[in-house]
Amino acid sequence: MAIERILVTGFEPFGGEAVNPSWEVARALHGQSRGGAQITAVQLPCVFAQSLPALRQAIRRHRPQLVLSLGLAGSRSAISLERVAVNLCDARIADNAGALPAGTPVVASGPVACFTRLPVKALLQRLLQAGLPAELSLSAGSFVCNQVFYGLLHALRRQPQVLAGFIHLPPLPAQAATHPGSTPLALTEQVRGLALMVDALVQGIEELHVPGGQTD
Ligand code: PCA
């Protein structure tokens, strides 16, 4: 299916921070037309009770053929292509409304997990070839990002033709002091990575069937 409309979501800052690279990247792409496809960026609240209604409203309003949801992974040093969303909300820190769910499902009686709909191995290859730090990830955690990833795939379960997935981003250089264990990545590089993936997906990049797992 031709991709004409792309929805990119990013999160508001959370955990007491002033900035979230996921929203900075999303808003840098907002309004761009790439390969004939129009990008709309929508900011999601980092609130368990609000993120999925906001996401579903954005999908209804924009009727995208591709949805890329972005979030910050403060401990990571690479653009992380998430492969699996789990039906679990289990917080380590409070969300922006003070909620701390402790093991509740994203969707009651939904499947245990869902796989991304993105050709992540092919995208990984493109990112690495472009000199960007990138990796595949088997866990998006159990906080609001995983909730949005799972909720995204669930919301689109009857529209299998819509491509959708989740990408975690490393901190920005301005966040280096709050995330000393990771290597920050400049906003221009993060935006370059997302633009490159959008271009590849609009062109119909196909998944590579090569090994790419982890042993632990
Ligand atoms: N990262 C958090 C939630 C919002 C964000 O940008 C996460 O990884 O769950």
Q: Is the pLDDT of residue 216 over 90?
A: no
Give the domain ranges of the chain. Answer: 5-203
Instruction: Say whether 168 is catalytic.
Output: yes
Q: What percentage of residues in the chain have a pLDDT greater than 70?
A: 100
Structure token pair of residue 51: 């993120």
Q: How does pLDDT run across 15-74, given as a tens digit for each residue?
A: 999 999 999 999 999 999 999 999 999 999 999 999 999 999 999 999 999 999 999 999
Ligand 1 atom closest to Cα of 11? 6
Pocket test for ligand 1, best of 8, 46, 190 (most atoms within 8 A of CB): 46
CA of 74 to the centre of ligand 1 (A): 8
In which region does residue 150 sit, left (phi positive, over 0), alpha (psi from -120 to 50) or beta (all else)? alpha
Is 46 considered catalytic here?
A: no
User: At 152, which helix (H) or strand (E)?
Assistant: helix 144-155
- Quick one: pLDDT band at residue 1, thresholds 50, 70, 90? confident
- CATH architecture of structural domain 5-203: 3-Layer(aba) Sandwich (3.40)
> How confident is the model at residue 7, as a pLDDT?
98
Q: Side by side, which strands form the sheet with 33-34?
A: 33-34, 37-44, 5-11, 66-72, 163-169, 79-82, 134-137
**pLDDT at position 2:** 94
**Residue 97 pLDDT more than 80?**
yes
pLDDT (0 to 100) of residue 89: 98
pLDDT, average across residues 186-215: 97
Contact 138, 216 (CB under 8 A): no
